[in-house]
Chain A
Amino acid sequence: MKKTIISTVLMSSISLTLLNAQVSSDDQRWVKGPIPIPKNNPMTKEKIALGKLIYFDTRLSSTKDVSCATCHRPDSGWATNDPYAVGIEGREGPRNSPTILNNAYNKKYFWDGRAKSLEEQSLGPIEATVEMNMKLDVVLKNMNNTKGYVKLFENAFPGKGINRDTLSKAIASFERTVVSNPDSKFDKFIEGDKTAMSKDAIKGFELFKGKAHCMDCHDNFQFTDGSFHNIALGDADEGRYKLKNRASWYHSFKTPTLRDVTKTAPYFHDGSVKTLTEATTICASGGKYSTGRNAKNKSTFIKDRHLTTEEISQLVEFLKALDGKPLNITIPTKFPQ
């Protein structure tokens, strides 16, 4: 089994190398790189398969009708299209559901970066009262009483049992497979097919890298460098500052990926913006506020770039070209008994 995983990784590396050769040196930054795998949780087929079952299993919630996939839906770009996350009994969370797509490349998780690993992040929503509202001890007890899960955990983590550690590692292993494939119009464009993107999208790409400065934060294959910024939306949420009163964290939130961004409206941590045009305009015109309390600690990247309506439209056309094909992940319909 280990050989299979290693072979897959090697094959991926070889194909990536071949792909890289076709891409200009300027565009190498957009090429898909290897997924960082923590040393204490190497990927295996067994963990990934188990993690997938858990991810879609609604029995992990107190009302047995909410799973991780409720707020991070494969058919909504691995997010939802509600302004705020909606958990059990229709309870609204304080923020928009961020996509989990390409989370594997991040180093901090949640909008405010409070989790330092995917493993740590994976358990948070289970216990959150506005999400799945389930005590982890109860989840673990239920799983230990489910023969099917006992067997699957034993296969994935021989001799380790079902506990917080193995549960988090299984979910994180699955989430590390939720990564975009390089199959968007943009990917084809940088691989050399200059007809893959429309003329407007190509102009948008040039603006993205240049005049509009989007690339300053939306960088790399995943179109985010994982950085935290206050984009001056003027809402009450203090973001990362709540974790620690560090001045540069005031009202700051994590830069989201832009891959499949057309599928994840509404936008921003408060889900307050319905269209890509409006979101792009806000970012490229210096946020919603330029003075006063709402502009305090505004990111130095958020400036008025003096874009025309046509240029905003070209940027949006470029963002649309980042949409990839749906990931080849079969949603389970039967769960361990």
Chain B
Amino acid sequence: MKKLITIGLLITTMYSAEHIIDQKNKHYVPNNITVAVGDTLVFKNSDSFAHNAYTDDEKNEFDFGMQAPGKDKRVEIKEKSDFVIECAIHPNMSLQVHVK
């Protein structure tokens, strides 16, 4: 059983992907993305000021808090869901996430 779980985790790790999301000029780039469970979203901040990505989606809830310019933040996709990530400071920033 343990062996099976280990193999399963290895396969998930092998096939999970990283998706780069930039925060630039108060926009998410891209602003629409399709990902899989286990994938990681990597948020960059190319603006000269802080952002605060978050989602209240029940299955994938997270809140980065303040993300300084030039710093990266990462979040793993936990469950299948369609949800929106927003910036707590700049609500016009909106990233639509589709988890297949």
Binding site for B on A (CB under 8 A): 107-108, 113, 216, 219, 225-229, 244, 246-249, 252, 300-301
Contact = CB atoms under 8 A, between A and B. Distances in A.
Contacts of B15: none
Contact of A225 (B26, B63, B88): B26
Contacts, number: 40
Interface in B49-100: 49-50, 52, 54, 56, 63, 65-66, 88-92, 94
Nearest to A244: B56
Contact of A108 (B26, B54, B63, B91): B91
Nearest to A299: B89
B88 A246 contact: yes
Contact of A226 (B49, B56, B88, B90): B90
A219 B93 CA distance: 14
B54 A246 contact: yes
Contacts of A225: 26, 90, 92
Contacts of B54: 246
B83 to A, nearest CB: 15
Given A246-B54, A300-B50, A113 B91 contact: yes
Contacts of A300: 49-50, 66
Nearest to B87: A227
Interface residues of B, number: 15
Contacts of B88: 228, 246, 248-249
Contacts of A244: 56
Contact of B63 (A246, A252, A301): A246
Nearest to A254: B91
A116 to B, nearest CB: 9
A225 B91 CA distance: 9
Contacts of B26: 219, 225, 227
Contacts of B94: 107
Given A225-B90, A226-B91, A301-B49, 8 more contacts: A107-B91, A108-B91, A225-B26, A228-B89, A247-B65, A249-B88, A252-B89, A300-B66
Nearest to B52: A248
Most A Cβ at <10 Å: residue of B26, B56, B66, B92: B92
Interface in B16-64: 26, 49-50, 52, 54, 56, 63
A227 B89 CA distance: 5
B19 to A, nearest CB: 24
Contacts of A113: 91
A249 B66 CA distance: 11
B75 to A, nearest CB: 16
A34 to B, nearest CB: 15
A249 B88 CA distance: 7
A246 B63 CA distance: 8
Contacts of A246: 52, 54, 63, 88
